[in-house]
Amino acid sequence: MSVPQTPHMFGASTTAAEVIDGIDLHGRRAVVTGASSGIGVETARALASAGADVTLAVRDTDAGARVVARLKAELPPTSGQLTVGRLDLADRSTVAAFVAAWHGPLHILVNNAGVMAPPDLIRTPDGRETQFAVNHLGHFALAVGLHPALAAADGARIVSVASIGHLFSPVVFDDLDYRYRPYDPWTSYGQSKTANVLFAVGAAERWAGDGITANALMPGNIADTSLARHMDMQQVADFIASGELALPPQKTVEQGAATSVLLAASPSVEGITGRYFEDCAQSEPVAERAGAVAGVAPYALAPENAARLWSVSEALVG
């Protein structure tokens, strides 16, 4: 069945600057996680260029400060303010501290940070598998903690950066942390990205009455990003050669940030919530992973999966 498309003139080659052109975000406040590199920087740049005050929520505050200095030098004087906040999504204490330090409404939350396919199993200090902990649980705790600020904004938007990698695995509720099955970097990444989509579905259901919309997206195949910093590149080459990994055409970082910016700021998606986007449009469902370079798995949008994940996540983050 065809998915209704949002009205726009954008596509796979659209850049964040093209999406934000003509949009006025003065008076709005935004948080972008992982904004010290890659599409996070370009997302922050676009939102600030339209007048939003943007907080770069980053693990390395020195790197974040360098980005802020660079963007301030490049952006026009009418741009919004840029600040840096410390946030390590693997460390619950920094999430709690970030939330405690936030005052006033929050209009845009872009859950952008992530880790991709470390070759060996890594656990966080509280025993969680790292990809699920960082990509999903940390962002879940952040969004829930900031919910009052989002509700106070009267029309806030949450943007959850997922991936076509969600096709590698649903959320395996009986073994989230690879305690009973052999660790695999790709199924682990896949379930964390599925969780990113399900979070948007769950937030859309729970927080609609607060005027909050939440959507997920696939940014694209972007080479110039630190997301793959933990990956074994020979393993990736072997995986591609085996036919297990299908990739869409490469995008620039500026193109990769476009769908995030669309969901964060564009009037064309006003009121749309609980959906999955790619190339600045809602995605079509796919029936299987084999050969797919686009689309969304039905299990990633299933309300029953979203409800279960929400309950499990609440229990895990306390």
pLDDT one-digit tens code per residue, 192-217: 999 999 999 999 999 999 999 999 99
**If pLDDT is split at 50, 70 and 90, which confidence band does 232 have?**
low
Question: Is 178 a residue of the active site?
Answer: no
Burial (CB < 10 A; 0-12, 13-18, 19+), residue 284, is middle
What pLDDT does residue 18 have? Answer: 97
What pLDDT does residue 290 have? Answer: 86
Residue 3: pLDDT over 90: no
Task: Determine the average pLDDT of the residues in 46-74.
Answer: 98
Task: Determine the average pLDDT of the residues in 135-164.
Answer: 98
- DSSP code at position 172: -
What pLDDT does residue 236 have? Answer: 54
* Greater model confidence, 238 or 97: 97
Residue 174 amino acid letter: D
Task: Determine the average pLDDT of the residues in 40-50.
Answer: 98
Hey, what's the torsion of the CAs at 284, 164, 257, 51, to 10 degrees? 70
Token readout for 185 is 């970097």
Q: CA 20, CA 215: separation in Å to the nearest integer?
A: 18
- Helices (H) and strands (E) counted in the chain, each on its own, are 12, 10
* Beta-ladder partners of 129: 123
Token readout for 179 is 């305690």
Q: CA 118, CA 290: separation in Å to the nearest integer?
A: 23
Residue 211 amino acid letter: G
Residue 2 amino acid letter: S
Q: CA 318, CA 316: separation in Å to the nearest integer?
A: 6
* pLDDT tens per residue across span 235-288: 555 655 555 656 788 999 999 999 999 999 999 999 999 999 999 999 999 999
What pLDDT does residue 4 have? Answer: 40
Task: Determine the average pLDDT of the residues in 224-239.
Answer: 55
Catalytic residue among 178, 180, 189, 276: 189
Residue 71 near residue 109, CB atoms below 8 Å: no
- Long-range interactions of 143-149: CB distance < 8 A, separation 24+: 143/109, 143/111, 143/199, 143/203, 144/314, 144/317, 145/95, 145/96, 145/98, 145/99, 146/31, 146/99, 146/102, 146/106, 146/109, 147/207, 147/210, 147/212, 149/102, 149/104, 149/105, 149/106
Task: Determine the average pLDDT of the residues in 104-128.
Answer: 96
Residue 158 near residue 214, CB atoms below 8 Å: yes
What pLDDT does residue 234 have? Answer: 58
What pLDDT does residue 2 have? Answer: 38
**Closest C-alpha to 219, from 53, 41, 89:** 41
Task: Determine the average pLDDT of the residues in 34-49.
Answer: 97
Residue 153: pLDDT over 70: yes
What pLDDT does residue 226 have? Answer: 56
Token readout for 103 is 């005052």
- DSSP code at position 208: G
Residue 309: pLDDT over 60: yes
Q: CA 17, CA 178: separation in Å to the nearest integer?
A: 41
Residue 157 has phi, psi (to 5 degrees) of: -125, 135
**If pLDDT is split at 50, 70 and 90, which confidence band does 291 have?**
confident
Residue 160 has phi, psi (to 5 degrees) of: -110, 110
Q: Looking at 19-88, which runs of residues are DSSP E strands?
A: 29-33, 53-58, 82-86
**If pLDDT is split at 50, 70 and 90, which confidence band does 318 have?**
confident
Q: What is the mean pLDDT of the chain?
A: 92
